[in-house]
Structure 1
Amino acid sequence: MRTKPLFTAAAALFVLTACGSGGGMTPQDAVNGAGAGTGQSQGDNPADPKEGTLENPTKNGGVNGSAPDGATGFDGLPVAGSMKAAFDYVATYSRCKDLGTRPDDERFYSGDSEKDAGWGVTERGVCSTGHREEWTRIFMVSDMKKFQGAYKADLYKQFKDDPEAGLNGGFAIGQDFAVVAVGDDEVRGLGQSQLLILNCNPSFAVPSGYKKEKALVEGCVLTDFTGD
């Protein structure tokens, strides 16, 4: 996941300029591998609704415990269930530290909050990487299909001025969170995670040997190609 065209381009968008899953099924279905879900992420243990999320990854083991064995595409992505779990996951693959969630945190980009409702974002976090002005931002998403559709629509507005906008992708996403990392080291680190990059540029073609999975909206793909 590269800084340059990939995440800095996404950073400009959630001005947004960038875990709750989205798109036509319940969170329970997401845990069981039935497709893309909506609402807050949860496991299938009534006594512990967070079982199977990154916060309590008792299903299948590991930090990606919520993803079903053998799942691919969106169903195989990590489910966080909380900002803390998403932050811990991102920090595992990067230097992300000092999580901030206050709206007045100066590390947020101007305008980050303007599209929260329209993009299905319910909570925002930002962390430092040790380099000045290289911050990683985490967005909890209640409806990932809505989020992907909003990203695509925003991207298409940019094509009039820049037909190559988003050519190397936008957000790195899980089932219920999206990440924007700035800095080559951070992008490479997150590239080792199980997150996939959302790419909605119609001119983009996934190079051979890289993952190409269907996104939740037509005309977008999920890939592990970072543009490197």
Structure 2
Amino acid sequence: MHTQRILAMTAALACLAALPACEGDPAPGASGATPSAGAAATPVGGKGPAPVTLAGAQQYVRQFTNCDDLSDQPGDPRMPLTEFVGVGEWSVTQRGVCSDAAKDGQLVFYIPSDMKEFQERYKRSVMESSGGSQGLFSRVFVGKGFVVTPTSTESALALARSELRILYCNPSFWAPKGYKMDKALVEGCGLSDFVNAEDGKGSPNFETPQDPGGQKPGQPAKGSLGLARAGSVAELRKLVAPSVDCTRFSTDPDTVAIESIDYTPVVEGNALDWGVTGRALCGEPGGEQRAHHLNWLDTVGDMKALQTRAKAAQQADLKDDGKLRRTASRLLVGENVAVESNDPDVRFGLYQQQFLYLNCVPGFSAPTGYRLERARVEGCVLTNYDPENPVVGGN
């Protein structure tokens, strides 16, 4: 896709964070006096004036990532190594820095008196550098009245979950499908929640081609090596009995709808919208004791609808940090049935019974010896390889 070509063309470039906050590895030195507390900033893409203090900007970003030892001292060793943008330039009236030690980085703040001028000057710096190659991996997060540039990709991913938006002014950049790309205050720039990282560890790109199956020894180019099937929920319960403890079993809609902090189902809301025709819960739903061993059994009338919605849910989970929550169930499917489970031991047993895991993680590929088949929805595959528990699976 277009974004992939951009990454290929720029792989050899040095760090291109829009402001020089990523030049070198700033030492986590001592900070100066911390500014007094101020009102939290309200970030919405930098539109409109907003009286903001460094402490107020810090207060906002702390909702999403660490920001400790705030300092406005020009001599702080954590400040950018160059004075490319200092106080008095680009309408910047204040500049500060704090540490995100957990993510091995710093966050540099800029308080401009004129946000449009700041964006215009940034655009000019992008277009005047190396034929406009700068800014593809921007770290310029724009808020209402302040700008923050994290040096760590992990910090950037955390801030991307806020209302801050990354300022991109390189004409070659375009946000992949599933991400925002709004207008900035200057023509030719955009504001996005997509973190473009040189090392590939930024936001998941859902346009990345998937391993389509049919290209591994022993894998079918079309069709399937065989999947589990059942004619009813009761039949499915008997089928999965060797793998799923259904001693406590219920088809009551209120009970089936139960979830807990430890067990989150794949199917949420109206099951019919997911193509599910019958649904049951196995395990202890809670009460006097905490819920445990929850697994959901589904009979499926429209497998494509189920996989389409499950893909969207999986991508929404990946969007935060590129990882699936361990408490989120994985969807294992057969021909006309499915099981939702976050227990790797349960999944291992189901793989032996010809259930396969719907994996929609960008760039996923199963190692030799594991099954890999086409899913009903583009961008996903069916497999018995469990990346989070690789010791199980593999027939």
* Same fold (TM > 0.5): yes
CA distance in 1, matches of 2:117, 2:175: 23
Does residue 174 (structure 1) correspond to residue 143 (structure 2)? The answer is yes
**1:54-89, Cα deviation, whole Å (9 max, x unpaired):** 816xxxxxx74x86xxxxx554x9956211110111
Q: 2:181 aligns with which of 188, 191, 212?
A: 212
| Aligned counterparts of 1:183 and 1:165: Cα–Cα separation in 2 | 18
Match of 2:75 in 1: 104
| Alignment TM-score, normalising by the size of structure 1 | 0.65
Looking at structure 2, the residues matched to 132 and 206 of structure 1 have their Cα atoms a distance apart, in angstroms, of: 24
Residue by residue over 1:100-148, the C-alpha shift from the partner in whole angstroms, topping out at 9 and shown as x without a partner, is 1111111111333754333111001101111697211111111011000
2:173 is paired with a residue whose SS is coil
**Partner residue of 1:156?**
127
For the 8 Å contact 2:21–2:108, the answer to whether it is kept is no
Amino acid in the other structure paired with 1:92: Q
- Secondary structure at 2:107's aligned position in 1? strand
> Does the CA-based 8 Å contact 2:66-2:102 persist in structure 1?
no
1:122 to 85, 93, 99: 93
**Residue number among 33, 55, 61 corresponding to 2:39 in the alignment:** 55
Matches within 5 A, 1:70-149: 74-75=46-47, 79=50, 81-112=52-83, 115-130=86-101, 134-149=105-120
Unpaired runs of 5+ residues, structure 2, are: 1-10, 24-37, 197-202, 204-395
User: Which structure has more RCO (C-alpha within 8 Å, separation ≥ 6)?
Assistant: 1
Distance 1:108 1:158 in 2: 22
Q: Using the alignment, how far apart are the partners of 1:127 and 1:221 within structure 2?
A: 26
Aligned residues: 171
Cα separation, 2, equivalents of 1:100 and 1:148: 24
| Structure 1 residues 110 and 166: alpha-carbon distance in aligned structure 2, compared to 1, 3 A threshold | same
2:77 maps to amino acid: E
Once structures 1 and 2 are overlaid, which stretch shifts more, 181-190 or 144-153?
Answer: 181-190
Over 3 Å counting, the alpha-carbon distance change for 1:164 and 1:79 in structure 2 is same
Equivalent position SS for 2:187: coil
5+ long unaligned stretches in structure 1: 16-53, 57-62, 68-72
For the pair 1:12 / 2:12, whether they are aligned, the reply is no
Asked if the contact 1:80/1:177 (under 8 Å) is kept, the reply is no
The answer for the alignment partner of 1:191 in structure 2 is: 160
Give the direction of change, closer, same or farther, for the CA distance of 1:133–1:13 in structure 2 (3 Å limit).
closer
Question: Once the 2 structures are TM-superposed, how far is the Cα of residue 201 of structure 1 from its aligned partner?
Answer: 0.4
Could you list the structure 1 runs, at least 4 aligned residues long, displaced by more than 6 angstroms after superposition. none
Paired residues of 2:16 and 2:136 also in contact (CA < 8 A): no
Higher strand share: 2
Q: Which residue of 2 aligns with 1:42?
A: none
C-alpha contact (below 8 Å) 1:169/1:201 kept by paired residues: no
Q: Would the alpha carbon gap of residues 147 and 97 (structure 1) be closer, same or farther in structure 2, given more than 3 Å must change?
A: same
In 1, distance between residues paired with 2:21 and 2:127?
Answer: 11
- Asked if the contact 1:139–1:178 (Cα under 8 Å) also holds between the matched residues in 2, the reply is yes
CA separation of 1:8 and 1:190: change in aligned 2, threshold 3 A: farther
When normalised by structure 2's length, the TM-score is 0.39
In the alignment, is the contact (CA less than 8 A) between 1:172 and 1:178 conserved in 2?
A: yes
- 2: CA distance between counterparts of 1:87 and 1:190? 12
Distance of aligned partners of 1:147 and 1:131 in 2 relative to their CA distance in 1, 3 Å threshold = same
Between the aligned partners of 2:165 and 2:85, the Cα distance in structure 1 is: 25
Contact 1:136/1:181 (<8 A) preserved: yes
